[in-house]
Amino acid sequence: MTLAELLPSTGCATEPVLEEGLWPDGTHLSGSDLVIGGVGATRLAAQFGTPCQVLDETTVRHRARAFRRALPEAEVVFAGKSLPCPEVYRWMASEGLSLDVSSAGELALARAAGFPARRIVMHGNVKTGEDLKAALQHGVSRIVVDSFDEIAQLGALSRHGQEVVIRVTPGVDARTHAAVTTGVEDQKFGFSLASGAALEAILRVVEQPSLRLVGLHCHIGSQVRHVASYEETVRRMVGLIASCGVRVEQLDLGGGFCAPYLPGESSFDLFGFTQRVRGTLNYECALHRVPVPKLLIEPGRSIVANAGVTLYRVCAVKHGARTFVAVDGGMSDNPRPALYGAKYAVRLVGRGGARKPVTMVGRHCEAGDVLAEDVPLPADVHAGDLLAVPVTGAYHHALASNYNQVCRPPVVAVRDGVARPIVRRETEEDLLRRYV
Protein backbone atom coordinates (compact mmCIF):
# COMPACT_ATOMS: atom_id res chain seq x y z
CA MET A 1 0.00 0.00 0.00
CA THR A 2 1.33 3.45 -0.89
CA LEU A 3 1.04 5.93 1.98
CA ALA A 4 0.81 9.71 1.66
CA GLU A 5 3.73 11.76 2.86
CA LEU A 6 3.50 14.78 5.13
CA LEU A 7 3.79 18.22 3.55
CA PRO A 8 7.04 20.12 4.20
CA SER A 9 7.22 21.31 7.79
CA THR A 10 8.94 24.65 7.32
CA GLY A 11 7.69 27.83 5.77
CA CYS A 12 4.21 26.40 5.23
CA ALA A 13 1.05 27.41 7.05
CA THR A 14 -0.99 24.56 5.57
CA GLU A 15 -1.72 21.60 7.81
CA PRO A 16 -0.67 18.26 6.23
CA VAL A 17 -3.29 15.85 4.98
CA LEU A 18 -4.09 12.87 7.14
CA GLU A 19 -1.44 10.19 6.95
CA GLU A 20 -2.82 7.40 4.78
CA GLY A 21 -3.34 4.02 6.43
CA LEU A 22 -2.87 5.13 10.03
CA TRP A 23 -6.31 6.45 10.98
CA PRO A 24 -9.63 4.64 11.34
CA ASP A 25 -11.62 4.19 8.15
CA GLY A 26 -13.42 7.35 7.11
CA THR A 27 -11.47 9.65 9.43
CA HIS A 28 -11.23 13.08 7.84
CA LEU A 29 -10.67 16.75 8.45
CA SER A 30 -13.66 19.06 8.73
CA GLY A 31 -12.29 22.56 8.84
CA SER A 32 -9.74 22.39 11.61
CA ASP A 33 -11.40 19.48 13.41
CA LEU A 34 -10.56 15.79 13.15
CA VAL A 35 -13.66 13.63 12.60
CA ILE A 36 -13.52 9.99 13.74
CA GLY A 37 -16.49 7.73 13.17
CA GLY A 38 -18.58 10.77 12.38
CA VAL A 39 -17.71 12.52 15.66
CA GLY A 40 -15.34 15.48 16.00
CA ALA A 41 -12.30 15.08 18.20
CA THR A 42 -12.98 18.42 19.89
CA ARG A 43 -16.44 17.22 20.88
CA LEU A 44 -15.06 13.89 22.14
CA ALA A 45 -12.47 15.65 24.28
CA ALA A 46 -15.07 18.05 25.67
CA GLN A 47 -17.57 15.31 26.44
CA PHE A 48 -15.30 12.58 27.79
CA GLY A 49 -12.19 14.48 28.89
CA THR A 50 -8.59 13.59 28.17
CA PRO A 51 -6.75 11.33 27.89
CA CYS A 52 -9.43 9.50 25.94
CA GLN A 53 -9.04 6.37 23.88
CA VAL A 54 -11.38 6.48 20.87
CA LEU A 55 -12.25 3.27 19.01
CA ASP A 56 -14.03 3.20 15.65
CA GLU A 57 -16.41 0.25 15.63
CA THR A 58 -16.85 0.18 11.87
CA THR A 59 -13.10 -0.17 11.30
CA VAL A 60 -12.88 -3.04 13.78
CA ARG A 61 -15.73 -4.89 12.12
CA HIS A 62 -14.42 -4.30 8.59
CA ARG A 63 -11.01 -5.71 9.47
CA ALA A 64 -12.50 -8.73 11.22
CA ARG A 65 -14.56 -9.42 8.09
CA ALA A 66 -11.47 -9.07 5.89
CA PHE A 67 -9.83 -12.01 7.66
CA ARG A 68 -12.98 -14.10 7.39
CA ARG A 69 -13.23 -13.38 3.66
CA ALA A 70 -9.55 -14.05 3.02
CA LEU A 71 -9.58 -17.47 4.71
CA PRO A 72 -13.15 -18.77 4.68
CA GLU A 73 -12.00 -22.33 5.38
CA ALA A 74 -9.98 -21.29 8.45
CA GLU A 75 -11.01 -20.45 12.00
CA VAL A 76 -10.21 -16.81 12.77
CA VAL A 77 -9.53 -16.39 16.48
CA PHE A 78 -9.41 -12.84 17.87
CA ALA A 79 -6.43 -12.33 20.18
CA GLY A 80 -8.42 -11.09 23.17
CA LYS A 81 -5.35 -9.75 24.99
CA SER A 82 -4.91 -7.03 22.36
CA LEU A 83 -8.07 -5.23 23.51
CA PRO A 84 -9.75 -6.93 26.48
CA CYS A 85 -13.25 -5.48 26.59
CA PRO A 86 -16.65 -7.24 26.69
CA GLU A 87 -18.16 -4.96 24.06
CA VAL A 88 -15.30 -5.61 21.63
CA TYR A 89 -15.65 -9.34 22.31
CA ARG A 90 -19.35 -9.03 21.42
CA TRP A 91 -18.40 -7.41 18.11
CA MET A 92 -16.06 -10.32 17.39
CA ALA A 93 -18.73 -12.89 18.26
CA SER A 94 -21.26 -11.24 15.96
CA GLU A 95 -18.70 -11.23 13.12
CA GLY A 96 -18.21 -14.97 13.47
CA LEU A 97 -14.74 -14.95 15.03
CA SER A 98 -13.56 -17.18 17.84
CA LEU A 99 -11.68 -15.76 20.84
CA ASP A 100 -8.51 -16.61 22.70
CA VAL A 101 -8.01 -15.67 26.33
CA SER A 102 -4.90 -15.98 28.49
CA SER A 103 -6.24 -15.92 32.04
CA ALA A 104 -9.29 -16.39 34.22
CA GLY A 105 -9.70 -12.60 34.13
CA GLU A 106 -9.89 -12.43 30.33
CA LEU A 107 -12.25 -15.41 30.44
CA ALA A 108 -14.45 -13.49 32.88
CA LEU A 109 -14.72 -10.68 30.33
CA ALA A 110 -15.65 -13.22 27.66
CA ARG A 111 -18.34 -14.66 29.91
CA ALA A 112 -19.67 -11.16 30.61
CA ALA A 113 -19.87 -10.64 26.85
CA GLY A 114 -21.84 -13.86 26.42
CA PHE A 115 -19.14 -15.24 24.10
CA PRO A 116 -19.93 -18.87 23.18
CA ALA A 117 -17.68 -21.23 25.16
CA ARG A 118 -17.31 -23.53 22.16
CA ARG A 119 -15.49 -20.72 20.34
CA ILE A 120 -13.11 -19.80 23.18
CA VAL A 121 -9.50 -21.01 23.31
CA MET A 122 -7.47 -20.72 26.54
CA HIS A 123 -3.90 -19.60 25.89
CA GLY A 124 -1.12 -18.38 28.18
CA ASN A 125 2.44 -19.60 28.65
CA VAL A 126 1.77 -19.88 32.40
CA LYS A 127 -1.72 -20.84 33.47
CA THR A 128 -2.37 -21.11 37.19
CA GLY A 129 -4.59 -23.75 38.70
CA GLU A 130 -7.30 -21.11 38.97
CA ASP A 131 -6.96 -20.33 35.25
CA LEU A 132 -7.32 -23.99 34.30
CA LYS A 133 -10.25 -24.56 36.64
CA ALA A 134 -12.04 -21.51 35.25
CA ALA A 135 -11.54 -22.77 31.69
CA LEU A 136 -12.82 -26.24 32.57
CA GLN A 137 -15.81 -24.96 34.52
CA HIS A 138 -16.83 -22.67 31.66
CA GLY A 139 -16.34 -25.42 29.09
CA VAL A 140 -13.90 -23.65 26.78
CA SER A 141 -13.39 -25.66 23.63
CA ARG A 142 -9.58 -25.97 23.63
CA ILE A 143 -6.73 -25.37 26.05
CA VAL A 144 -3.25 -24.68 24.69
CA VAL A 145 -0.64 -26.35 26.91
CA ASP A 146 2.81 -24.80 27.28
CA SER A 147 4.77 -26.99 29.72
CA PHE A 148 5.04 -30.57 30.95
CA ASP A 149 3.82 -29.45 34.38
CA GLU A 150 0.73 -27.97 32.78
CA ILE A 151 -0.01 -31.19 30.90
CA ALA A 152 0.11 -33.16 34.14
CA GLN A 153 -1.98 -30.63 36.06
CA LEU A 154 -4.59 -30.35 33.32
CA GLY A 155 -4.77 -34.10 33.02
CA ALA A 156 -5.50 -34.39 36.75
CA LEU A 157 -8.14 -31.65 36.70
CA SER A 158 -9.93 -32.57 33.48
CA ARG A 159 -12.83 -34.81 32.79
CA HIS A 160 -12.57 -37.20 29.86
CA GLY A 161 -12.18 -35.66 26.42
CA GLN A 162 -10.85 -32.16 27.15
CA GLU A 163 -9.45 -30.92 23.84
CA VAL A 164 -5.82 -29.88 23.99
CA VAL A 165 -3.51 -28.00 21.63
CA ILE A 166 0.27 -28.08 22.13
CA ARG A 167 2.27 -24.89 21.69
CA VAL A 168 5.44 -25.52 19.70
CA THR A 169 8.50 -23.29 19.36
CA PRO A 170 9.35 -23.83 15.68
CA GLY A 171 12.73 -22.08 15.67
CA VAL A 172 11.68 -19.43 13.14
CA ASP A 173 13.02 -15.89 13.50
CA ALA A 174 10.26 -13.43 12.56
CA ARG A 175 12.83 -10.59 12.25
CA THR A 176 11.00 -8.28 14.60
CA HIS A 177 11.81 -6.57 17.94
CA ALA A 178 13.53 -8.90 20.42
CA ALA A 179 10.85 -8.24 23.07
CA VAL A 180 8.11 -9.57 20.78
CA THR A 181 10.00 -12.41 19.07
CA THR A 182 8.49 -15.67 20.32
CA GLY A 183 9.28 -18.35 17.74
CA VAL A 184 13.00 -18.82 18.37
CA GLU A 185 14.90 -21.01 20.80
CA ASP A 186 15.90 -19.93 24.33
CA GLN A 187 12.74 -18.10 25.36
CA LYS A 188 9.84 -18.93 27.60
CA PHE A 189 7.13 -19.90 25.13
CA GLY A 190 6.17 -23.38 24.00
CA PHE A 191 7.91 -26.73 23.52
CA SER A 192 11.10 -26.66 21.47
CA LEU A 193 10.88 -28.44 18.14
CA ALA A 194 14.67 -28.70 17.79
CA SER A 195 15.25 -30.32 21.20
CA GLY A 196 12.53 -32.93 20.80
CA ALA A 197 10.43 -31.45 23.62
CA ALA A 198 7.51 -30.86 21.24
CA LEU A 199 7.38 -34.51 20.24
CA GLU A 200 7.63 -35.56 23.89
CA ALA A 201 4.74 -33.23 24.75
CA ILE A 202 2.59 -34.87 22.08
CA LEU A 203 3.29 -38.29 23.57
CA ARG A 204 2.50 -37.12 27.11
CA VAL A 205 -0.83 -35.62 26.09
CA VAL A 206 -1.78 -38.79 24.24
CA GLU A 207 -0.97 -40.80 27.38
CA GLN A 208 -3.40 -38.74 29.49
CA PRO A 209 -6.78 -40.51 29.40
CA SER A 210 -8.67 -37.32 30.25
CA LEU A 211 -7.14 -35.30 27.40
CA ARG A 212 -7.61 -35.41 23.63
CA LEU A 213 -4.96 -33.93 21.36
CA VAL A 214 -6.63 -31.97 18.57
CA GLY A 215 -3.91 -29.65 17.29
CA LEU A 216 -0.60 -27.89 17.36
CA HIS A 217 -0.06 -24.20 17.94
CA CYS A 218 2.80 -21.78 17.32
CA HIS A 219 3.35 -18.03 17.38
CA ILE A 220 6.52 -16.55 15.92
CA GLY A 221 6.22 -12.95 17.13
CA SER A 222 4.45 -9.63 16.75
CA GLN A 223 4.66 -6.99 14.03
CA VAL A 224 5.68 -9.68 11.53
CA ARG A 225 6.03 -8.23 8.03
CA HIS A 226 7.47 -11.15 6.06
CA VAL A 227 5.09 -13.81 4.78
CA ALA A 228 8.09 -16.07 4.17
CA SER A 229 8.43 -16.47 7.94
CA TYR A 230 4.98 -18.05 8.07
CA GLU A 231 5.78 -20.31 5.11
CA GLU A 232 8.86 -21.63 6.89
CA THR A 233 6.78 -22.13 10.03
CA VAL A 234 4.25 -24.23 8.10
CA ARG A 235 7.03 -26.41 6.69
CA ARG A 236 8.45 -27.13 10.13
CA MET A 237 5.08 -27.72 11.76
CA VAL A 238 3.94 -30.15 9.04
CA GLY A 239 7.23 -31.97 9.45
CA LEU A 240 6.40 -32.44 13.13
CA ILE A 241 2.90 -33.63 12.28
CA ALA A 242 4.36 -36.21 9.90
CA SER A 243 6.86 -37.49 12.46
CA CYS A 244 4.60 -37.73 15.52
CA GLY A 245 2.43 -40.61 14.32
CA VAL A 246 -0.73 -38.99 15.70
CA ARG A 247 -3.61 -37.46 13.75
CA VAL A 248 -3.44 -33.66 14.11
CA GLU A 249 -6.75 -32.07 13.16
CA GLN A 250 -5.86 -28.38 13.63
CA LEU A 251 -2.81 -26.20 13.00
CA ASP A 252 -2.81 -22.78 14.66
CA LEU A 253 -0.23 -20.41 13.16
CA GLY A 254 -0.88 -17.70 15.76
CA GLY A 255 -1.02 -14.06 14.73
CA GLY A 256 1.49 -11.24 14.87
CA PHE A 257 0.45 -9.65 11.58
CA CYS A 258 1.93 -6.17 11.40
CA ALA A 259 0.03 -2.89 11.54
CA PRO A 260 1.40 0.43 10.22
CA TYR A 261 2.27 2.93 12.97
CA LEU A 262 4.15 5.59 10.98
CA PRO A 263 3.75 7.27 7.59
CA GLY A 264 5.26 5.10 4.88
CA GLU A 265 4.77 1.81 6.71
CA SER A 266 2.67 -0.74 4.84
CA SER A 267 -0.16 -2.88 6.11
CA PHE A 268 0.20 -6.65 6.31
CA ASP A 269 -0.08 -8.42 2.95
CA LEU A 270 -3.14 -10.47 3.86
CA PHE A 271 -3.77 -11.63 0.28
CA GLY A 272 -0.18 -12.78 -0.14
CA PHE A 273 -0.33 -14.52 3.23
CA THR A 274 -3.45 -16.48 2.37
CA GLN A 275 -2.18 -17.55 -1.05
CA ARG A 276 1.31 -18.53 0.01
CA VAL A 277 0.46 -20.14 3.34
CA ARG A 278 -2.45 -22.10 1.89
CA GLY A 279 -0.23 -23.31 -0.97
CA THR A 280 2.64 -24.25 1.33
CA LEU A 281 0.34 -26.14 3.70
CA ASN A 282 -1.25 -28.18 0.91
CA TYR A 283 2.12 -28.94 -0.70
CA GLU A 284 3.86 -29.99 2.51
CA CYS A 285 0.95 -32.20 3.59
CA ALA A 286 0.94 -33.91 0.20
CA LEU A 287 4.73 -34.32 0.35
CA HIS A 288 4.58 -35.92 3.80
CA ARG A 289 1.36 -37.81 3.02
CA VAL A 290 -0.62 -36.47 5.96
CA PRO A 291 -4.17 -35.05 5.96
CA VAL A 292 -4.37 -31.28 5.67
CA PRO A 293 -5.27 -29.91 9.13
CA LYS A 294 -7.78 -27.13 9.63
CA LEU A 295 -5.95 -23.81 9.77
CA LEU A 296 -6.37 -21.33 12.64
CA ILE A 297 -5.01 -17.78 12.78
CA GLU A 298 -5.11 -15.29 15.66
CA PRO A 299 -5.22 -11.65 14.50
CA GLY A 300 -5.44 -9.05 17.24
CA ARG A 301 -3.37 -5.94 16.60
CA SER A 302 -4.12 -6.07 12.86
CA ILE A 303 -7.86 -5.81 13.62
CA VAL A 304 -7.95 -3.14 16.33
CA ALA A 305 -4.70 -1.12 16.25
CA ASN A 306 -5.58 1.28 13.44
CA ALA A 307 -9.15 1.59 14.71
CA GLY A 308 -7.93 3.50 17.77
CA VAL A 309 -6.98 7.15 18.37
CA THR A 310 -5.92 8.61 21.72
CA LEU A 311 -6.65 12.25 22.53
CA TYR A 312 -4.42 14.21 24.92
CA ARG A 313 -4.45 17.76 26.24
CA VAL A 314 -1.15 19.68 26.33
CA CYS A 315 -0.27 20.69 29.90
CA ALA A 316 3.08 22.41 29.40
CA VAL A 317 5.72 23.24 26.81
CA LYS A 318 9.43 23.53 27.66
CA HIS A 319 11.95 25.03 25.24
CA GLY A 320 15.63 24.13 25.35
CA ALA A 321 17.96 21.94 23.31
CA ARG A 322 14.73 20.15 22.48
CA THR A 323 11.14 21.29 22.77
CA PHE A 324 9.22 19.09 25.20
CA VAL A 325 5.44 19.01 24.88
CA ALA A 326 4.02 17.48 28.06
CA VAL A 327 0.53 15.98 28.02
CA ASP A 328 -1.99 14.76 30.60
CA GLY A 329 -1.31 11.08 29.88
CA GLY A 330 1.84 9.05 29.39
CA MET A 331 3.27 5.64 30.11
CA SER A 332 0.29 4.71 32.30
CA ASP A 333 -1.95 4.68 29.21
CA ASN A 334 0.79 3.83 26.67
CA PRO A 335 3.87 1.99 27.96
CA ARG A 336 4.79 0.66 24.51
CA PRO A 337 7.47 3.29 23.73
CA ALA A 338 9.19 2.43 27.02
CA LEU A 339 8.78 -1.34 26.55
CA TYR A 340 9.55 -1.75 22.84
CA GLY A 341 10.72 1.60 21.56
CA ALA A 342 7.39 1.94 19.72
CA LYS A 343 7.01 5.06 17.58
CA TYR A 344 3.89 7.09 16.82
CA ALA A 345 2.65 9.93 14.65
CA VAL A 346 1.01 12.93 16.37
CA ARG A 347 -1.14 15.78 15.09
CA LEU A 348 -2.56 18.91 16.68
CA VAL A 349 -6.33 19.27 16.40
CA GLY A 350 -7.80 22.73 15.90
CA ARG A 351 -5.32 24.67 13.84
CA GLY A 352 -2.34 24.41 11.51
CA GLY A 353 0.75 26.47 10.99
CA ALA A 354 4.45 26.12 10.26
CA ARG A 355 5.79 23.16 12.18
CA LYS A 356 8.92 22.09 13.97
CA PRO A 357 10.00 18.78 15.54
CA VAL A 358 9.12 18.32 19.21
CA THR A 359 9.27 15.53 21.78
CA MET A 360 5.94 14.53 23.28
CA VAL A 361 6.33 13.40 26.89
CA GLY A 362 4.02 12.12 29.60
CA ARG A 363 3.24 13.22 33.12
CA HIS A 364 4.95 10.41 35.02
CA CYS A 365 8.07 10.50 37.18
CA GLU A 366 10.26 8.59 34.73
CA ALA A 367 12.80 9.91 32.24
CA GLY A 368 11.62 7.16 29.91
CA ASP A 369 8.05 8.49 29.86
CA VAL A 370 8.36 9.64 26.24
CA LEU A 371 5.40 9.04 23.94
CA ALA A 372 6.83 10.29 20.63
CA GLU A 373 10.10 11.88 19.51
CA ASP A 374 10.80 14.32 16.68
CA VAL A 375 7.17 14.71 15.67
CA PRO A 376 6.22 17.82 13.66
CA LEU A 377 3.76 20.09 15.49
CA PRO A 378 2.91 23.77 14.99
CA ALA A 379 5.70 25.96 16.32
CA ASP A 380 3.27 27.79 18.61
CA VAL A 381 1.96 24.63 20.34
CA HIS A 382 0.93 25.59 23.86
CA ALA A 383 -0.90 24.44 26.99
CA GLY A 384 -4.54 23.64 26.28
CA ASP A 385 -3.96 22.34 22.74
CA LEU A 386 -5.56 19.03 21.79
CA LEU A 387 -3.33 16.31 20.32
CA ALA A 388 -4.41 13.13 18.54
CA VAL A 389 -2.28 9.98 18.29
CA PRO A 390 -3.44 7.27 15.84
CA VAL A 391 -2.87 3.49 15.95
CA THR A 392 -3.65 3.14 19.65
CA GLY A 393 -6.35 0.47 19.53
CA ALA A 394 -4.11 -2.47 20.43
CA TYR A 395 -2.31 -3.05 23.73
CA HIS A 396 -3.06 0.43 25.11
CA HIS A 397 -6.12 -0.35 27.21
CA ALA A 398 -4.65 -3.81 27.86
CA LEU A 399 -1.31 -2.53 29.21
CA ALA A 400 -2.61 0.55 31.05
CA SER A 401 -1.58 0.95 34.69
CA ASN A 402 -2.09 3.25 37.67
CA TYR A 403 1.51 4.44 37.94
CA ASN A 404 1.63 7.55 40.16
CA GLN A 405 -1.98 6.56 40.95
CA VAL A 406 -3.17 8.14 37.75
CA CYS A 407 -6.63 6.95 36.76
CA ARG A 408 -6.91 4.97 33.55
CA PRO A 409 -8.70 6.65 30.62
CA PRO A 410 -12.02 5.60 29.12
CA VAL A 411 -12.47 3.73 25.87
CA VAL A 412 -15.12 5.48 23.76
CA ALA A 413 -16.64 3.69 20.78
CA VAL A 414 -17.71 5.80 17.82
CA ARG A 415 -19.92 4.82 14.91
CA ASP A 416 -22.08 6.80 12.49
CA GLY A 417 -21.82 10.01 14.51
CA VAL A 418 -22.63 8.40 17.86
CA ALA A 419 -20.10 8.17 20.71
CA ARG A 420 -20.56 5.91 23.73
CA PRO A 421 -18.16 4.75 26.44
CA ILE A 422 -17.49 1.01 26.48
CA VAL A 423 -14.96 1.36 29.31
CA ARG A 424 -15.63 4.23 31.71
CA ARG A 425 -12.92 6.49 33.05
CA GLU A 426 -11.40 5.23 36.28
CA THR A 427 -11.98 7.36 39.38
CA GLU A 428 -10.09 7.99 42.59
CA GLU A 429 -12.81 6.01 44.36
CA ASP A 430 -11.87 3.04 42.17
CA LEU A 431 -8.25 3.41 43.26
CA LEU A 432 -9.11 3.65 46.96
CA ARG A 433 -11.49 0.68 46.88
CA ARG A 434 -8.64 -1.85 46.86
CA TYR A 435 -6.80 -0.49 49.88
CA VAL A 436 -7.46 -2.00 53.31
Residue 244 bears catalytic tag: no
Helical spans, DSSP H, in 345-411: none
Phi, psi dihedral angles at 106 (to 5 degrees):
-65, -35
Count CB neighbours of 418 within 10 A.
Answer: 11
Task: Give the integer Cα–Cα distance in Å for 171 and 11.
Answer: 51
Task: Give the integer Cα–Cα distance in Å for 285 and 287.
Answer: 5
Count CB neighbours of 220 within 10 A.
Answer: 26
On whether the CB atoms of residues 220 and 230 are closer than 8 A, the answer is yes
In the chain, how many H helices and how many E strands?
A: 12, 21
- Going by the DSSP 8-state scheme, the letter that residue 80 receives in this structure is G
On whether the CB atoms of residues 256 and 220 are closer than 8 A, the answer is yes
Q: Which of 85, 244, 365, 407 is catalytic?
A: 365
Count CB neighbours of 7 within 10 A.
Answer: 13
Amino acid at 100: D
Catalytic residues: 365
